[in-house]
């Protein structure tokens, strides 16, 4: 069976592919399943297939939360309705400053008419009408990151890094540094999202100074995320995909 994960950006996709590869055995697959041709057509999009036994998993970065609906409509809806391309679809979204209920409502609206109900950390059975007028079943999952408090993927990664007492001090000091820098660098750190990214960047610069000028995927792959209780808790339902 084919499964699908839609996430906001390339960083999310890299972390998810690494984590699910380590904890659930998904391996990169160069050849997609027959008759499922889903390709990125923008710089900030990506689409990569993974395999485990006879199952296939597609992880797509859609280029931001506001692009989920259009990406689904243009690239996913038709293969599902015409050919039942996927049996499970998961949506991974940053919490930012929103309430979980608000994100659930948003997630339940962007994948219509295939999926009409999504709930955080719960697989939900949905019914859609295929191209032949027949009812079909599909499961939908929403994963809000982080669940416990406001933030984004970078917040979740910082929480994971801070599980280690030694690294926790680095995370705290890096956060204090960024807060202080806001006073003189509001041009760059004016938004909450940019400040969080800077917090993670400073933390990594201290932990891995030799990799500061490496690509982001190399930095992500430097961390044993599979050992993180924070990530296991957040991605518990994704591990079952």
pLDDT band at 217 (very low <50, low <70, confident <90, very high): confident
In contact, 103 and 142? CB cutoff 8 Å = yes
b/e sequence 71-92, b meaning 16+ C-beta within 10 Å: bbeebbbebbbeebbbbbbbbb
Q: What one-character DSSP code corresponds to residue 150?
A: S
Instruction: Say which residue, 222 or 121, is predicted with more confidence.
Output: 121
**161 and 110 share one domain:** no
**115 and 200 share one domain:** no
**Does residue 221 form part of some domain?**
no
| Amino acid 34: pLDDT | 83
Structural domain count of the chain: 2
**Does residue 219 form part of some domain?**
no
CATH code of the domain in which 65 resides: 3.40.50.10620
**184 and 86 share one domain:** no
**Does residue 222 form part of some domain?**
no
**108 and 181 share one domain:** no
pLDDT band at 179 (very low <50, low <70, confident <90, very high): very high
pLDDT in tens, 128-140: 999 999 999 999 9
Dihedrals phi, psi of 76, to nearest 5 degrees: -105, -40
**Given a cut of 80, is residue 212 above it in pLDDT?**
no
**105 and 197 share one domain:** no
Q: State which residues form the domain around 18.
A: 2-145+234-240
**Does residue 167 form part of some domain?**
yes
**57 and 174 share one domain:** no
**Does residue 228 form part of some domain?**
no
**Does residue 28 form part of some domain?**
yes
pLDDT in tens, 85-122: 999 999 999 999 899 999 999 999 999 999 999 999 99
Q: What one-character DSSP code corresponds to residue 223?
A: S
Distance CA 220, CA 118 (A): 29
**134 and 163 share one domain:** no
**Does residue 213 form part of some domain?**
no
**137 and 166 share one domain:** no
**126 and 158 share one domain:** no
**158 and 141 share one domain:** no
Which stretches of the chain are DSSP H helices? 10-24, 68-71, 77-83, 100-110, 153-161, 165-181, 186-189, 192-207, 216-220, 229-234
**179 and 72 share one domain:** no
**131 and 178 share one domain:** no
**Does residue 224 form part of some domain?**
no
């Amino acid at each position: 069976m084919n499964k699908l994960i839609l996430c906001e950006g390339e960083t999310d996709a890299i972390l998810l592919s690494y984590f699910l590869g380590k904890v659930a055995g998904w391996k990169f697959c160069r050849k997609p399943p027959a008759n499922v041709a889903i390709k990125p057509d923008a710089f900030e999009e990506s689409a990569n297939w993974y395999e485990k036994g006879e199952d296939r998993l597609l992880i797509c970065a859609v280029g931001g939360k506001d692009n989920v609906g259009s990406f689904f409509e243009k690239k996913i809806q038709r293969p599902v309705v015409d050919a039942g391309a996927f049996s499970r679809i998961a949506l991974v979204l940053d919490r930012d400053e929103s309430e979980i209920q608000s994100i659930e409502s948003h997630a339940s609206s962007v994948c219509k008419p295939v999926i009409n109900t999504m709930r955080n950390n719960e697989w939900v059975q949905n019914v859609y009408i295929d191209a032949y007028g027949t009812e079909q079943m599909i499961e939908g999952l929403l994963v809000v990151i982080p669940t416990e408090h406001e933030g984004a993927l970078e917040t979740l990664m910082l929480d994971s890094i801070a599980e280690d007492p030694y690294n926790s001090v680095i995370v705290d000091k890096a956060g204090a540094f960024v807060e202080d820098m806001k006073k003189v660098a509001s041009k760059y750190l004016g938004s909450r999202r940019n400040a969080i990214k800077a917090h993670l960047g400073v933390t990594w610069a201290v932990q891995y100074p030799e990799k500061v000028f490496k690509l982001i995927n190399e930095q992500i792959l430097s961390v044993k995320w599979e050992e993180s209780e924070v990530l296991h808790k957040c991605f518990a339902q994704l591990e079952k995909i």
